Amino acid sequence: MNAKSRLTPTSLEQSVLPTGADRLLAGGRLTIDLDALADNWRSLDARSRPGRAAAVVKADAYGCGIAQVVPALTAAGCDSFFVALPEEGLRVRHAAPRARVFVLNGLFDDAAPAFTDADLIPVLGSDHEIAIWAKHGRRKPCAIHVDTGMNRLGLSPGEAIAFAGSAKSVRPVLLMSHLACADTPSSDKSRQQLESFQKVRAAFGDIESSLANSAGIFLGSDYAFDLTRPGIALYGGEAVDGTGSPMKQVVTAETRIVQIRHAAKGETAGYGATTTLARDTRIAVCSTGYADGYPRAASGSGIPLRSTIAEGAHGFIAGQRVPVLGRVTMDLTSFDVTDVPEDAIGIGDHIELFGANIALDDVARAAGTIGYELLTGLGLRYHRRYIGGELVF
């Protein structure tokens, strides 16, 4: 194979990439569009000008696969990646030998050699971590995290400004903070954090700076600085609450029909007998459940978990939306397919859980959660099928 080659979806699926469960044996499938992913990064990169966009690929690239996502983004022009853990960083380094790889979740003394050996860049958020890196880092680059309002990781603004004068004890190449309410544009919190970050940035001089996550990019150029850190928007998810996603659809999740059964009006369906059938009903029982990341709370009201909407989630088959029926269980989910013509659906067919016809975030809202949780919770039992993508070997 040439050093850089275009792969058809068929060859990509069959001969290059690990695809999880066997295609014929899996209960569901994930189709991941690497061309759409790359287009989303380019769009977010353009919105980040005059800065650049990195890519957040923690949690196995939001469930899409570091080994597949990182080469596709590298080919699109991305040269900086953010992960949560050093183990993830090592996987990114394997996929992108020349990229900058930032590790967000702190630094332990016993993990420092792994950072230096693989040229991972730790994001330091305490005096303790700075001391560890001064001991182990051997003047290798690091990033400094300042907490401007999350009360999570990071130096306080005062601590960061005090440290700026002695920053040469390590080699900071990036100053960053994280927005708490960027997904709610009406909140004053983002502007307050911006002002706090600007004060800290002034103390550090010309160091590269990063504040905006996916939602922060949509707040405007004031938040872009030198490097943005898109995550959920890369994968087609909704970055700003309730606005829908302007990004291309990247992930389609489908479940396979195991059985189609008929039940009479007045009978109940599922655990707890929480659903009483209001009509004679055809039920498609499908081989995906909460063990596969399809949330139990998507069953809707009657499942006392979180704040779920009354009707629960829907699937899509044969041009129609079909509601979840009864409780989502560990390995199985049922859908009411009464209104789908009988000759349009059969055992072995796939029902879309989310994708082009059912928005990821609509399913998440039905379960009282967010698209991030849904994507990152996708299990290993799906057959993963990758389409598009220009891979670098």
Summarize pLDDT for 264-285 with one digit per residue, the tens. Answer: 999 999 999 989 999 999 999 9
* Residue 301: per-residue pLDDT: 53
Give pLDDT, residue 8. 35
Alpha helical stretches, state H, 149-265: 157-164, 189-204, 214-217
Give exposure, 329-352, as e/b (b: 16+ Cβ within 10 Å).
Answer: beebbbbbbbebeeeebeeebbbb
pLDDT band, residue 310 (cuts 50/70/90): low
Separation CA 299–CA 312 (nearest Å) = 5
Q: Who's near 288: CB < 8 A, 6+ residues apart?
A: 27, 28, 255, 256, 294, 331, 332, 333, 353, 381, 382
Tokens of 226: 């030198």
- Does the structure show a pLDDT above 60 at 116? yes
13 pLDDT band (50/70/90 cuts)? very low
User: Which one from 140, 189, 248, 271 is the annotated catalytic residue?
Assistant: 271
Question: Is 330 labelled a binding residue?
Answer: yes
DSSP type of residue 378: -
Q: How many other C-beta atoms can be found within 10 angstroms of the C-beta atom of residue 268? A: 13
Q: Which amino acid is at 371?
A: G
pLDDT at 242: 77
pLDDT at 250 over 80: yes
Average pLDDT over residues 110-128: 97
User: What domains, with CATH codes, occur in the chain?
Assistant: 34-235 (3.20.20.10), 251-358 (2.40.37.10)
Q: How confident is residue 168, by pLDDT bands cut at 50, 70 and 90?
A: confident
Each residue's pLDDT tens digit, 59-98? 999 999 999 999 999 999 999 999 999 999 999 999 999 9
Does pLDDT of 393 surpass 60? no
Please report the pLDDT score of residue 20 as a whole number.
Answer: 63
- Is position 58 annotated as part of the catalytic site? yes
Q: Which residues contact 223 (CB under 8 A, 6 or more apart)?
A: 179, 182, 190, 194, 211, 212, 216, 217
Fill in the amino acid letter for 304.
Answer: P
Which of 4, 58, 235, 294 is labelled catalytic? 58
Q: Is the pLDDT of residue 10 over 60?
A: no
Provide the whole-model pTM: 0.90
Report the pLDDT averaged over residues 352-359. 97
Average pLDDT over residues 353-380: 94
**Which band of pLDDT confidence, cut at 50, 70 and 90, is reported for residue 241?**
confident
271 is catalytic: yes
